[in-house]
Amino acid sequence: MNKIKFLAILAIAAFSNIANAQSSATASATATIVTPISITNTADMSFGMIAVNGSAGTVILSSDGGTIESGVTLQTGALSTPAKAAGFDVAGTANYGYSITIPTGDVTLTNPLNSSTMTISRFTSSLVGGKSTLNDLGKSSFTVGGTLNVAAGQVAGVYKNDKAITVTVNYN
């Protein structure tokens, strides 16, 4: 009988250890719905009217609209077109952070009358580190500049981009 009692106690102990080997926990779930972020072009990029001085040159258009020319001359006066950076408005959920992606490669400008080309390179933005935060109304804006590369014998005419200058926004 002691042997049976001992086996019964041993079986109860074994089952109680198995029961204690399980444990449970619970979790909650949440979801946050945000207003879709959007971007709108408010101003196109313009390098203004440029005179070629017989050598290759550049026009650096900063994101604040300022210019630095080298080897070429920007024209001023009543008939000239002022240089200006591209402008963009962003809308979304108030006080949320966002980042932008600007072109990293060259964008080609072509004169449709004679197929001459120039390139825009080294794009810059007015956002420090390419990031910002939407205001209390869910609004923000920024500008984009770049460097126009002009050839020594660049043919006169109006040059336009073949491919869009694409700027993308995303929530951080």
What pLDDT is attached to residue 21? 80
Question: What is the Cα–Cα distance from 145 to 107, expressed in whole angstroms?
Answer: 12
What is the CB neighbour count within 10 angstroms for residue 121?
14
What pLDDT is attached to residue 79? 77
Query: Which of 43, 59, 39 has the alpha carbon at shortest distance from 121?
Result: 59
In this prediction, the residues of the chain whose per-residue pLDDT falls under 70 are 1-2, 4-20
The helix/strand/coil state of 7 is helix
What pLDDT is attached to residue 111? 96
Structure confidence by residue, pLDDT tens digits, 11-55: 565 555 555 689 999 999 999 999 999 999 999 999 999 999 889
Q: What is 37-171's CATH number?
A: 2.60.40
What pLDDT is attached to residue 28? 97
What pLDDT is attached to residue 8? 59
- DSSP letter (8 states) at residue 113: T
What pLDDT is attached to residue 1? 58
- DSSP letter (8 states) at residue 162: S
What pLDDT is attached to residue 100? 98
Q: Where are the beta strands (DSSP E) in the chain?
A: 38-43, 50-52, 57-61, 67-70, 72-74, 86-91, 97-101, 107-110, 117-125, 131-133, 139-150, 160-161, 168-171
